[in-house]
A and B are shown apart, each in its own frame.
Chain A
Amino acid sequence: MQRREFNKMLMLGAAAGLALPTLGRASASAGNAYDVPRFGNVHLLHTTDIHGQLNPIHYREPSVNIGIHAARNRPPHLVGEALLSQFGIAAGSREAHAFTYLDFVGGAEHFGKVGGFAHLATLVKRLKANRPGALLLDGGDLWQGSATALWSRGQDMVDASKLLGVDVMTGHWEFTLGADRVTEIIENDLAGQMDFVAHNVSDADFGDPVFEGHTLREINGVPVAIIGQAFPYTPIANPGYLTSGWTFGIQERELQRKIESVRADGAEVVVLLSHNGADVDLKLASRVVGLDAILGGHTHDGIPKAIEVENAGGMTLVTNAGSNGKFVGVLDFDVRDKKIRGWEYRLLPVFSDLLPADHDMSALIASSRAPYEEQLSEVLGTTDGLLYRRGNFNGSFDQVIVDALMTELDADIALSPGFRWGTTLLPGDTITMEDLMAQVAITYPATTLAERSGAEIKAILEDVADNLFNPDPYYQQGGDMVRVGGLKYSIDPMADAGKRINDMELGGKPLTPGGRYRVAGWASMDPNADGEPIWDVCARYLRSQQTLPPVTPNQPVIKGISDNKGISAA
């Protein structure tokens, strides 16, 4: 009895990862904070959703990330104090700053920025030095999210990730560069150095695989299969014309067959490098057998521990490694006699100040930015308030975007996509063109202005709400709620599809189904959309403001939810 409890304690210790024990408020002594003890003989390092961020940034984690049904009050749907208490993280600590929004400005000023490839490179080198044979896996959304990634058509990120030593990757926003560009990069740049794997993308006519589905690597004599799972809803969440002729999907049955085939080929460890999103991964892990781990991304959830999911074949670990270069996941397996005897997982926050910049990477970043330096550094204004995006509903940076759309396009209502990428600016920061592009750098930036009926507007809001709050994660797309300017509304996440959005009001008057309203938007899915790019609209608005006062995000009234740990108490 006692022994079992002792074992359980050990297990908890392993699961907790005991991340960065020496990182307190004092940062000076943190020189060897990243000397993470090695465990076992199979080592996988994991980054995901870096979104083109080559330089250190701030990224505020959400204060609203509601989980309902099976996801209620469970990771990743815990915010603030609930997250700290679940994972045993001390308030005010470095980890608390990394994993939560709590006292975000104070923490950002005290602990500094996170991520940045020069710092990431130093960390990866240290981890690899202590873990011979380790592979670095990237879960995608690597080549998009910044001005330089857009203007170089992904090239700056391709070059930097090669130098970083990414061994295997899968994709999502990569595909918005267009099928031809993706194919070109894989054939010209990645060949021989990095495997791009995606078992769930096939030719729409004949069903032939478009990419390698997996790669089989040996780590310290142990055959390890890494299967790629691209974002299953790419042609739906992003314009389908960009991946014309390719079909995606979760492809659960095909995955099961793939796992069986790589096991038959001798794989002793099988992991899925996934861009499904955490909730989809948790469901998938409960239904598919034979995966040792799912290393997940897409939903940008920094989950401090691996989640053990039981299934008919045993147990699968599910992780999610946050976004923007802010975290590196370290998964160690102890494999002996073809069996996994133990594991450890840590999600390390990447504090730029604690990791000296790698010289070669700094030089590469400088040279890739050089042609664009003048455009990047243009100051558009200054912000008096905190500007962030992430959260189920409007963030303050989204508010600036919808305000810009309504002002510049003379619209009653503005809609802006619920993307989860987009970095954070602190009060007093200048807003440069580079900062703006970190919110809007996409290959289909056209703004739109259309007259729409109240009924159509409700239908749009309901459609997106169902992508977020469908009871079945397989029917969710993993973005946040569409950002709404001008219009007030209430949302009942637990209600049936089509009945979640109510109390819609514009200028104090109820929206009528037959009324006509001027609605502005951007990121049009129409290949013929030719409206002014969103960055020009926002830049004009910001220049006219010069100093942007703190903005209050237009948040809906949330109904039908109580005691939900995915909503901050504050």
Chain B
Amino acid sequence: MSDEVVAEMVANVWKVVVAMGDRVDDGDTLVILESMKMEIPVVTESAGTVAELRVAEGDVVQEGDVIAVIE
């Protein structure tokens, strides 16, 4: 089972909170985006391991872009 966590809007990646291989629980913050002067935490809705982390701090993400994959 793997779950893709996607960006809900165009944003800058302000902070990457987790690292590849980290164990995460439902509700944990993976990265913090910044858009229109607002910080938006991106949380996982499933528990597991961070199998892929496709963004780095300073990146720009588009709506629907995959931020991370949780396995």
A binds B: no
Q: Which residues of A contact B (CB under 8 A)?
A: none
